[in-house]
Amino acid sequence: MRCRKCGRPLRRGIRFCGYCGHPVPAFAMVRVLAATVVLIAVVFSLFAALGGLGGSRSSELAEEAPDARDEWGYDEDVSSVSSESDTLGDAPPEPVGSGSEGGALTDRGRIEVIRDVLSSLPDTLDGVDISGWQEGLSIPATDGDFFIIKATEGVSTEGKPATRFSPWYRMWAAQALATGRLVGFYHYANGGDAIAEADEFYEAIKDYQGIAIACLDWEGAGNPVFNTGGDVAWCKEFLDRLQSRYGGVPFVYMNKNHANSFDWSPVAQSYPLWGAQYASERDVSGFLADPWQSPSDWGAWGQSPTIFQYTSSGVLANNGGMDHLDLDKFQGSLVDWFGYAWWRGNERLQRIAEGITGDRGA
């Protein structure tokens, strides 16, 4: 079987292509199982008709056949797959990051991914945020428990697609998941139509619902709304729209000065902060256990942000080929992280999360 985006061969059982990061279409895995189920049902029906098996026994055996969707953790309507347009063979490669035809992960599928990640992570989470500035970075060769990856900037216009760091953001996400790390994505705001920008971001990351956290990067460069007084309303509109489509609880990124420049209460009461403050511009060697923060509050978010970016000059022993990196600390538990990605406010899923972390002694 080959990836429908880059055309490279795929290993069995994977959810994302190891070359380009494109999700493996659910139907490609489901079809084989579904065909097996149908074949078993047909064979036993024939035997029953010929008297070789009793009708009741043939029904029992057919019911014992595997459920194609549950086996892979995907919800995919196999009957809707076109035999002409959705073949398993050598579809021509398409640009990476232009969308997905893959099935949506079920709760069971997400839990399997989450359980795999939890088995390899410590309880204190240190991470790196990356964008096109880090082109060529290798996540398997980089230290960190999580990676927050720039996925989009602005919106599509006629003849000019939105900036999607293709193939990096999907490739990096695939590398992170394959090596047991946590994943997040961010959208750099251009201050245009907030709904359109949120929709652009959603379309780029929708295949990672329930696994990756989502963030809005609110800064001044290229953003005419920044620091005009319309900041709070724009961010609230974007975040509300994104949450309504992506789920979970998205973050907003800004520095500490800006968090204190306006009354961010309408945003802070619903959405956590990914905040930035640097002690200096000097190199920081390795992840810090207790990075410096000034004693003042972060505006409406109180004493500390949920994710704290404390340097843009991080020097790691294993740096993936990059000398200076943005270093971050997630100030919460593993349950909190996946809550922001997926189940926040859902008591049933919260119990599942606590059960998973309980299995590993968290």
| Contact criterion met (CB below 8 Å) for 78 and 36 | no
Peptide bond into 66 cis (omega under 30): no
Q: Which residue has the higher pLDDT, 306 or 29?
A: 306
- Please check the confidence at residue 90 and state whether its pLDDT lies above 50: no
Task: Output the CATH code of domain 106-359.
Answer: 3.20.20.80
Give the pLDDT band (50/70/90) at residue 305.
very high
User: Any idea which residue has 């279409």 for tokens?
Assistant: 25
**Is residue 88 scored above 90 in pLDDT?**
no
Give mean pLDDT, residues 279-305: 94
Closest CA to 306 of 131, 142, 122, 127: 127
The pLDDT assigned to 102 comes to 44
The pLDDT, as a whole number, for residue 43 is: 36
Is residue 238 very low, low, confident or very high in pLDDT (cuts 50, 70, 90)?
A: very high
Tokens linked to 145:
């428990």
**What pLDDT is attached to residue 333?**
80
**Bridge-partner residues for 150, per DSSP?**
186
- C-alpha triplet 20, 128, 308: angle, nearest 5°: 140
- Mean pLDDT over the full length of the chain: 74
Higher pLDDT, 81 or 359: 359
Lowest mean pLDDT among 21-35, 218-232, 274-288, 295-309: 21-35
Tell me the three-class secondary structure of 318-343, residue by residue. Answer: CECCCCCEEEEEECCCHHHHHHHHHH
Residue 346 pLDDT more than 60? no
* pLDDT reported for residue 334: 80
Q: What is the dihedral of CA 294, 258, 241, 26, to 10 degrees?
A: -50
Cα–Cα distance for residue pair 352/41, rounded to 1 Å:
35
Does pLDDT of 345 surpass 90? no
Of 135, 187, 209, nearest to 166 by C-alpha is 135
Q: What is the C-alpha to C-alpha distance for residues 119 and 7, in angstroms, rounded to an integer?
A: 32
pLDDT at 160: 57
pLDDT for residue 124: 73
Name, of 108-122, 167-181, 182-196, the range with top average pLDDT: 182-196
pLDDT of amino acid 86: 25
Span 35-50, mean pLDDT?
A: 38
Paired with 289 in beta bridges are none
What residue type is 139 in one-letter code?
I
Interval 301-322 mean pLDDT: 94
* Higher per-residue pLDDT: 165 or 29: 165
Tokens 């946590």, located at residue: 182
**pLDDT greater than 60 at residue 297:** yes
**pLDDT tens track for 181-229:** 999 999 999 999 999 999 999 999 999 988 899 999 999 999 999 999 9
